[in-house]
Amino acid sequence: MLKITDPQELLKLALSNHQDSECATCNILMHPGWESVPGSFDLTTLKLIGTLKTEDHSEVWDEYHPNGTHSWSADAPIAIGFHPYNRCDIYQCIHCARKYLRYGEYGGYYVDERIRPLNGKLIAIP
Ligand SMILES: [Zn+2]
C-alpha cells in the first residue's frame, strides 16, 4: 500500500485519475466536496490503494483553508497533514480506476463514511 506524505506524490497519483470518465459504479460519488457515502453504495467496489495517514499527524484537528473555504466546500484544498486528510485512505474504483479519499467520521453509534474524489487541481502544494 502506498504511504503518501508528499503533495507532489499525491498529485502524480491524482493525474493518473480519469476525472471525467463515465462510470456506472462510481459516478454517484463524483461530488467535488466531502459527502457521506450513500447507503446504497457498495463499498466493495472501492479498492484500498494507499493512505495519507501518518503517526505524527493523527491527532491534528487543524484544517487548512487559506482562501476562506470550509471543510464541506467544493473547492476546499486537499491538504496533507491537516484534518481530515490526516485520517484519509486512498481508494480506487475497481471498474474505472478513479481515485477517492475516504475516512470514517465517528459519531455516537456508527461511523459515517465520508468520501471525496481525488482532484489534482485542489491539492495544496506548500
Ligand atoms: Zn468508477
Residue 18 has what pLDDT? 66
Please give the pLDDT value at position 47: 97
Contact status, residue 52 vs residue 99, Cβ threshold 8 Å: no
Residue 95 clears pLDDT 70, i.e. is over it: yes
Residue 125 lies in a domain: no
Residue 19's pLDDT is 64
Distance 101 CA to ligand 1 centre (A): 14
* Residue at 15 is within a domain: yes
CA 95 to ligand 1 centroid distance, Å? 5
Provide the mean pLDDT of the chain.
92
Give the whole-angstrom CA distance, residue 78 versus residue 66. 12
Quote the ligand 1 centre to 110 CA distance (angstroms): 26
Which pLDDT score is estimated for 22?
87
Number of domains comprising the chain:
1
- Can you tell me the distance from the alpha carbon of 39 to that of 25, in angstroms, rounded to the nearest whole number? 14
Q: How far apart are the CA of 68 and the centre of ligand 1, in A?
A: 31
CA 83–ligand 1 middle distance (angstroms): 26
What confidence tens digit (pLDDT) does each residue in 28-66 have?
999 999 999 999 999 999 999 999 998 776 688 999 999
Q: Is residue 69 part of a domain?
A: yes
Has residue 124 been placed in a domain?
Answer: no
pLDDT 10s digits, 66-85: 999 999 999 999 999 999 99
Q: Is 104 left (phi over 0), alpha (psi -120 to 50) or beta?
A: beta
96 in any annotated domain = yes
Is 67 inside a domain boundary? yes
Q: Is the pLDDT of residue 4 over 80?
A: yes
- Measured in Å, residue 14 CA sits from the centre of ligand 1 at 14
pLDDT at 102 over 80: yes
In a domain, 126, yes or no: no
Is position 21 within any domain?
A: yes
Give dist(CA 94, CA 106) in Å, integer. 26
